[in-house]
Structure 1
């Protein structure tokens, strides 16, 4: 959400910033609606004040025996009582019109965000590590998981496409990764481990920007709740409708949760394997800070996400997203793209975003600076630290061996309980038994 006062003060500047995100000018319409709203509010306040004043004067006129004056005042009060509900309804209509447009607008990009509307305009920031040198032609992960224990037939029968059933050591590796990443973010990086609801109300989805514009990308329940698309929704809304004590800022939290996405806008993309699933797990980081601290926190959270891949010794690069390629709620976003040798390409594995006060205004999340009379809006940030499924993909492709087995990275061995590598499953290795790869049907 945006501050209408800033739009009122510099409408052309607001439109220029929105144009960087590919949005047509809207400031003139917003300012006009805002002017009408303030005019109605002024008239309504004056009418209410006059109604109260006239009501008092009626008693005085009656007490003084001035019946004619009293009757005139009664008629005036009756007219005001009829007019005020009309003004109240007009106020509600105009406020709804203003909120409808404002709530659908994206955040304004930070000054150092590169111009452009697509991923081709993203800016390279840095990379880390080296691409693995393999003496054989690497397999893409969708071939590896078929060998290692993903049961596509079972998942399709249970839930349909874009779901997964993982067996044996493949399921263990998935669990290890989630636990490892949560431990790093909470115990080493100080992001408090938090357990949160997976079902949330409309207000929570609105607060972080999923509603009203992106509802089709989420799953909705029959009782009016939403399955979270990311723990960002639950974690960030912890600050909702609160005035936080400045002494306890920043709030830094992490959670490992299932996430649910309908992928309505991604038809036909990444239908094989684990890249784009309706259900997946992710370690999320969220920070709530003072405005002057959010840029530094953004860099800290980027480093926290990078640390996972560094510990796993997997090559990656960091990209600064262009104005038009960022999520709607972000003012600045870094993407971490991991190298996948089986696909011979980089794939996004984490986005780390600074949302400024955009979400805080929607949630009414504030803090009171020391010595200040009025509270101010906090800044919110979020980032993946990391997505479990995509990290699993990265481990499989980077640690694969020629025979189809996959070595366990050293960083995961404390969680592996002696497991050194994943080996292709054989008929009878799972329960119930499934045919060997290539022998199904």
Structure 2
């Protein structure tokens, strides 16, 4: 008999397949230009996107893309450089400088293909004058621990960069520009996918300063000085001509693919939304209430339900444990469900890495918490310490995929089974 855990994994696999660059990118490629084709990009899917371009491109091309360590892919003509994520490092700084240099001396006969995906904000690193890499690293670490949503983090990032917030577009000059993007942000706003390096920036430095005040983050003197400088306002005095921007994969499309897979397995799929934000444990409690209500309404012989959702939750870190937002969501969900016998769940990051750990996420079984408790591991204690990784490691429910080479943000699926016939 097929298990709910197997079905949940099939939902996740269907979502990933819908965002595979080799499958979804080729139909967006234009005809080759009269002149050169230069490919640049950044993100966790940048290398696999570059490989997909090479597989479907008929004329010479060159370029450089930056991806996270361990997320590289084999390419022949486009150089792939790996750097740190989510806190940038010197490799990202050096690679970004080389990427910008590859765009020099282009003409109107040339074409620039810019490949963007989630993670590009950390990988494209060009600090403004007077701001050191150390300054940016300290600020990003503080923002990541604060519980700020990704849109606010990327607002600050844009105003501390010479490449984000449309400035990469300015470096392209007269060449034609086509941006192909895989969205990992709630709402799929191009401004916030990899911090919008090729589109006009609608945020302001005043907003960036307000975000830091909101989370009681005191920037270094160099950062504070730059944010007070009118030059940090990207739109100031700049005539901006955007190129084409195409979304080749997005959370909503992946949820639709998972829903189709759920129907094929006999479930009634319910998509809760692809842009859910908020504290992971708060979202989990709300989903637990909904799941229990739906479960209690099922009768023997009814179709099982599959609740699907995406977006990007946050975690305000107060403990010393390990774990990303998806495992924290699952642990809070399990506590709220309190062993409800008919409900199983999976939560994972579609890039294959949940937070800074080596797992994509985890699977929650009705007995996960009780079995861990028998070993002396109380879920509430682990949640208080932000140690969802440690908890699911003990329960044996961690989900490992390795880097998936795509990224359409969080994926959550809750399977609700009807009661058995007596």
TM-score, normalised via structure 1 length: 0.26
Bigger radius of gyration among the two: 1
The structure that is helix-richer by fraction is 1
Under a length normalisation based on structure 2, what TM-score does the superposition of the two structures give?
0.27
